[in-house]
């Protein structure tokens, strides 16, 4: 072998060693990453463990855990496990918790404009339409701007459109606006201002504290959310009168919240799973709500002997008038509040006209099949 061929052979050997080392590293890399284990997140909801709302939080966590193949594991604790329900935003922002599940109106004390995601009439939009505004009408950008304005280190995903909420639970049917005078009433968000305008003495309490407050006489009446939550939380044990339909929370939705530092550190693929899981959970929650709420609404009438009444139009109209006054005042005080209201109004005018012109009323079909004059099916 010549000197030249010896050098060539030596070079090839060095090349093969380097190539082999690189191949080994590329094979070993996934093993090293895998050895680090899954990313664990500790969350808290703002709901009692027995509430269907906490179940929704668990549903979302399971979707993410399943879709990431266990690479991200979210554990969701009930309200009060780490911080009080109204303390969720601070806890997530500071990193005490990695994330949470709640509603934006619970942050009303931090920035009043946050309550515009659900606390009010929605300018004739339902919660699903308000979510459409959030995603496609500028709401997402405005929410990020809002959180930045208060220095909140969070990433927020509104989701889960709620049906129109009842006016609330009372000792007797509410027949006129004057019935609210001096009434000790529980609500949250901008609804505090609306019911105060109606004459009530308002107290904001988390869901898990309402029934005990009514039982002890600290509240005369209260609103929370839906037939299933109200039933499992025990409202039927302290009241047998529920007034249906209201504008105080006609378009509310839930919020999934991450600590921004923790979220930003996640791989892009995991962020994509989180975002798509939000939308999957949003639809699943809507379907589950229809099934469960309708069952509990029926059983509260047959088993719990609750009497349901429609809220009189005079009260509904007064709610709208007071809401407009509240919005005018807060818009003058808060430029971001005004900006969000104007954005919602512009979207709502277009979206609700389309809906009112094109969507047929289901009341006629309901009466045809199930009303008192419906033809009995054999």
**How confident is the prediction along the chain (378 residues), in pLDDT tens digits per residue?**
544 444 444 444 444 444 444 444 434 333 333 446 799 999 999 999 999 999 999 999 999 999 999 999 999 999 999 999 999 999 999 999 999 999 999 999 999 999 999 999 999 999 999 999 999 999 999 999 999 999 999 999 999 999 999 999 999 999 999 999 999 999 999 999 999 999 999 999 999 999 999 999 999 999 999 999 999 999 999 999 999 999 999 999 999 999 999 999 999 999 999 999 999 999 999 999 999 999 999 999 999 999 999 999 999 999 999 999 999 999 999 999 999 999 999 999 999 999 999 999 999 999 999 999 998 765
Q: Which residue has the tokens 């839930």?
A: 254
Bridge-based pairing state of the strands 221-222 and 184-186: parallel
Let me know: does 84 contact 211? Beta carbons within 8 Å: no
DSSP alpha helix (H) spans, the chain: 3-35, 52-67, 88-94, 127-136, 139-149, 191-198, 210-215, 227-233, 235-238, 260-264, 268-302, 313-333, 335-358, 363-370
> How does DSSP assign 145-195, residue by residue?
HHHHHTT--EEEEEEEEPPPPP-EEESS---SGGGGTT-EEE--TTHHHHH
pLDDT tens readout for residues 71-91: 999 999 999 999 999 999 999
Give the per-residue pLDDT at 340.
98
CA distance 104 to 299: 30
Longest dimension (CA), the chain: 110
CA distance 194 to 120: 9
From the number of C-beta atoms within 10 Å of its C-beta (0-12, 13-18, 19+), residue 124 rates as middle
Backbone angles phi, psi at 247, to 5 degrees: -100, 0
pLDDT tens readout for residues 173-182: 999 999 999 9
Q: Which residue has the tokens 């009241």?
A: 239
Q: What is the pTM assigned to this prediction?
A: 0.88
């Amino acid at each position: 072998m010549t000197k030249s061929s010896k050098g060539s052979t030596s070079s090839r050997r060095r090349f093969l060693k380097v190539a082999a080392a690189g191949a080994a590293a590329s094979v070993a890399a996934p093993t090293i990453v895998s050895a680090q284990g899954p990313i664990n997140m500790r969350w808290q909801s703002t709901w009692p463990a027995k509430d269907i709302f906490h179940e929704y939080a668990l549903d979302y966590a399971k979707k993410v855990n399943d879709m990431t193949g266990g690479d991200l594991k979210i554990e969701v604790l009930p309200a009060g496990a780490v911080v009080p329900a109204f303390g969720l935003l601070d806890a997530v922002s500071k990193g005490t918790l990695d994330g949470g599940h709640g509603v934006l109106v619970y942050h009303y004390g931090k920035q009043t404009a946050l309550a515009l995601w659900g606390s009010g009439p929605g300018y004739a939009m339902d919660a699903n339409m308000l979510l459409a505004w959030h995603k496609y009408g500028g709401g997402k950008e405005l929410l990020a701007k809002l959180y930045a304005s208060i220095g909140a280190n969070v990433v927020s995903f509104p989701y889960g459109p709620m049906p129109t909420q009842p006016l609330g639970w009372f000792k007797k049917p509410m027949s006129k606006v004057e019935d609210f005078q001096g009434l000790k009433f529980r609500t949250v968000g901008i609804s505090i201002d609306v019911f105060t305008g109606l004459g009530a003495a308002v107290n904001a309490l988390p869901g898990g504290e309402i029934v005990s407050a009514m039982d002890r006489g600290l509240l005369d009446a209260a609103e929370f959310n839906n037939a299933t939550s109200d039933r499992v939380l025990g409202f039927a044990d302290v009241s047998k009168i529920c007034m249906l339909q209201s504008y105080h929370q006609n378009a509310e939705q839930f919020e999934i919240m991450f600590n921004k530092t923790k979220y930003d550190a996640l791989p892009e693929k995991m962020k994509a799973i989180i975002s798509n899981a939000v939308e999957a959970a949003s639809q699943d929650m809507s379907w589950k709500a229809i099934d469960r709420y309708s069952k509990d609404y029926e059983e509260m009438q047959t088993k719990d002997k609750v009497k349901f009444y429609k809220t009189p139009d005079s009260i509904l109209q007064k709610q709208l008038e007071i809401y407009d006054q509240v919005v005018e005042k807060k818009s003058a005080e808060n430029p971001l509040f005004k900006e969000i209201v104007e954005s919602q109004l512009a979207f709502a005018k277009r979206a609700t006209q389309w809906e009112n012109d094109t969507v047929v009323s289901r009341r006629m079909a309901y009466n045809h099949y199930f009303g008192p004059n419906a033809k009995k099916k054999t």
